[in-house]
Structure 1
């Protein structure tokens, strides 16, 4: 077996009930939820387990909820002796990767991402911006579509998720123009996403500035794992790069496809997606296939996924 990477999901992966099976079955997972409740001063556990969909999708709840669930599942895996060489996370998931690498303290980070969610939501009034997924159109043609749409306002590439899926983000009118242009240029599908803000666009630079002030009071430790960042698709060289990378991430493209390719090229052949949902598993398979890379990809969002990973690594459940 080659190297192992732990990868963590971002906003959009959440669902009501996430993490409850781990809370009920593992004391280490229970401790994570209790610590989050104490740090936040709110019952994030109840929002995750039995809250309403409306409450969970509020950005300032979603971000700490996903982080907490992902770390709770991670701790259960680590307790079984399952570990990684590389780690990365999609957008918000990068904070979980930094906690996994012991660069950031979980109790501090859960508050940081709550504020991050609030700042991102406040940066653009609701209804003024949005996001859309473009399927089946190469990068150069999407850039062409965006160039035309920028005559009407701000629109940027938010996520390079896989060879077949690129997400764009921006103001409502130019976003619609870019979607229309993408279809004309041959996109198989273009879908407007149910999000409350134009994440990872230049419109969110004010949110990055607010986050920068919060990060000034956060302690960053030496990294114990190789963390691949969203903004550069390369490893963080030392702890001094962490804060600036997180500030840039708010309003820059998430280079997820490039990040996975970097890990594949450096000997990773086993990926474990840890947290709610399983979108990253699909992205990784679609990234590896045209490169003719044989990969093992697991998704651990429930006990069934946990058991499969334990079995693969030869660990008792």
Structure 2
């Protein structure tokens, strides 16, 4: 077997009850939910297991709940001695990657991402921004369409997910216009995303500035496992660059496809998506159908993954 990467999902993967089966079965996972509750000062376990979709959809709730679930779902793998050679996460998931790599303590990370969610939400009033996914069109054409639509406002290519799938974000009218232009140019589909802010575009720079002040308050540890960063798609092992990258990440494009390709180039042939959903596993298979993509979000997927790795 080649090398293993742990990959962690971003916003949008959340659902009520995520991680509960694993927490019920593994004390180490349950301890993570309890640690998050202690760090945040409210019962996040109750929120994740028993609230509703609307509550989880609020960005300042989404971010800590997904992070907590991801780190909890990782615990059984660590207990069984399964360690990654590389870690990466999509957007918010990069914080889980840094927790896995030892760079940031879990309790610091969960507090920071709650604030991150709040700042990202506040940067653009609800209804002003939008995001859309463009499917089946070359990146260059999508970028051209964004340029053309930008006379109506800010619109930028923001998430390079996998071949033939790219997200755009910005001001609503400009995003809608760019989506229309992409359709005219032959996009198979364009889907307006049900998100509360236009993530990873320049409109979120004010959120990055506030986040920088929060990150100043936390101490980083040496990176134990190389982390792929969204901003450059490169491997980092030096903690001194982490804070700047996390600040820039808020308003810069997510180079997810390139992150996966970098890891494959470094010998990774098994990707384990840890946390809610299987979106990243789908992206991985579209990027390279020959690698193994597994996931861990409940007991069934955990057991399948353990069998595959045995």
TM-score, normalised via structure 2 length: 0.99
| 1:313 and 2:305 are equivalent in the alignment | no
Runs ≥4 residues deviating over 4 A: none
CA distance in 2, matches of 1:285, 1:213: 38
Tell me whether 204-213 or 231-240 shows the greater mean CA deviation. 231-240
CA distance in 1, matches of 2:186, 2:237: 40
Equivalent residue, structure 2, for 1:164: 164
Counterparts in 2 of 1:84-233, with a 5 A limit? 84-233=84-233
How big is the shift at 1:313?
2.0
Partner SS for 2:10: coil
In the alignment of these two chains, the number of paired residues is: 310
CA distance in 2, matches of 1:76, 1:273: 14
TM-score, normalised via structure 1 length: 0.97
Q: Where does the alignment leave 5 or more consecutive residues of structure 1 unmatched? A: none
Q: CA RMSD in A?
A: 0.6
- Say if 2:225 and 2:237, in contact at 8 Å, map to a contact too: no
How big is the shift at 1:127?
0.2
Q: Deviations over 1:152-189 (max 9, x none)?
A: 11011110000021000000111011000100111000
Counterparts in 2 of 1:257-296, with a 5 A limit? 257-289=257-289, 294-296=290-292
CA distance in 2, matches of 1:46, 1:132: 32
CA distance in 2, matches of 1:250, 1:256: 14
Equivalent residue, structure 2, for 1:302: 298
Q: Deviations over 1:250-276 (max 9, x none)?
A: 000000001001111111000000000
How big is the shift at 1:65?
0.2
Partner SS for 2:7: strand
Partner SS for 2:91: coil
Equivalent residue, structure 1, for 2:55: 55
